[in-house]
Chain A
């Protein structure tokens, strides 16, 4: 598999930009914005917590869109993107869950509680973990890609569910940063001035990191499939076909 030099230059530039932006985001998180008056230093977790959720949303969004494209076109390149989206989404949503736990302990006095948002995000993570198991369990590549594409469309329901649950369930204690909610959350804070600037910058940086990682993951999957193809050719004696 060979890529154009121009595309590779773009990927390198994006990777470098992601790295520089990540360092700048950390500097903003620790130096530009101060601790929140009630939640103290723990509130800083919120910037990467929300940023990583955006990364997961983008990744799972890519997965569902490319899953639909695969079902329409039956082109393996869409499957590569869909798989990459799920794998990156699992990583980013893992960060969301873990950073949320670190924040919850001092604010809610517990690492975990089965309230609606936390339950839905756990279901979402498990639904996508099951996607990886589904792929691993199907031998035939065409069948694997078809089943995975259908599953990625179904699994995206858990992402939508996670987003809307804090707006429709009055018993959630999870804070809602933007938009209406019927609940009375524990641990809310006012998003003004430097907190807003830092949050928006972190969201932008996590979006850039997500695109860069997805691009690298796609290249990795293309290489993995090339190696599999070459192995198959070697086994059947069709070198270089």
Chain B
């Protein structure tokens, strides 16, 4: 490890944290929305079943 290695590690760690956070947020929001959509579709199917002649 040469001069200022601790600042280099800090810089790369910050980059990794922000980039990782961006990816994690995309994944988390995608999963949450898929769950929400599945729930809406389930309610829709139940409503249709109840209203069927």
Contact = CB atoms under 8 A, between A and B. Distances in A.
Nearest to A46: B11
B contact face: mostly helix, strand, loop, or mixed: helix
A contact face: mostly helix, strand, loop, or mixed: helix
A23 to B, nearest CB: 12
Interface stretch (A68-76, A101-109, A114-122, A166-174): A101-109
B53 interface: no
Given A220-B33, A230-B37, A95 B19 contact: yes
Nearest to B17: A98
Contact of B26 (A29, A106, A213): A213
A29 B5 CA distance: 13
A138 interface: no
Interface in A137-156: none
Given A213-B26, A223-B33, A227-B33, A99 B40 contact: no
Interface of A: 26, 29, 35, 39-42, 44-45, 48-49, 52, 88, 91, 94-95, 98-99, 102-103, 105-106, 209, 213, 216-217, 219-220, 223-224, 226-227, 230-231, 234, 239-240
Given A99-B12, A102-B11, A224-B33, 10 more contacts: A29-B12, A42-B7, A45-B7, A102-B10, A209-B19, A219-B30, A220-B29, A227-B33, A239-B44, A239-B48
Give 7 closest A-B pairs by Cβ, nearest first: A40-B3, A102-B11, A42-B4, A45-B11, A41-B8, A98-B14, A106-B4
Interface of B: 1-5, 7-8, 10-12, 14-15, 18-19, 21-23, 26, 29-30, 33-34, 36-37, 40-41, 43-44, 47-48
